[in-house]
Structure 1
């Protein structure tokens, strides 16, 4: 699970000024990434509750669908949610740097 993300590469390119993104496009991408990060963090929270819960029947009915979705995703790709939650903020930082680089020109 090492090559799915390129956060460090994007950070390096942005800090060297070799990644440049138009302000409007960067803002849109950042907003999309921040929504994705929020969803990942919610799923991580759900997984944490699931790991401590005695069972699905002990959870409020309103959240069982969310729990099932999060657990299923984690079973399909174990550790991916955690990895994505660590990597995607690097993309946001890189886009902010790339946007600032463009604005400075």
Structure 2
């Protein structure tokens, strides 16, 4: 992706959507899933991911489970009920934004 700054405003939505589809996930797993889905076009750094995860947790959107894996503690994140509702809201916001941007960049093309 030519401009990774564009995804930063959508990072919360990306995280919520992945957790909605995948159940519980740990941080590195989220970064790798995004890389696979986008065929390497989008790379989420730890420096962007973990502050977003911590904010979502503080806002009551995520629950955290700690499990011991290979003699190490691993934090798994999963949506709360509030997080599930927020996911739907954020996805609708993003779809509306994409439609609006599409009208601006290509008025002859419509997603409807």
Q: TM-score, normalised by structure 2?
A: 0.37
More strand by share: 2
Higher relative contact order (CA 8 A, sep 6+): 1
Which of the two has higher C-alpha Rg?
1
Structure 1 or 2: more helix by fraction: 1
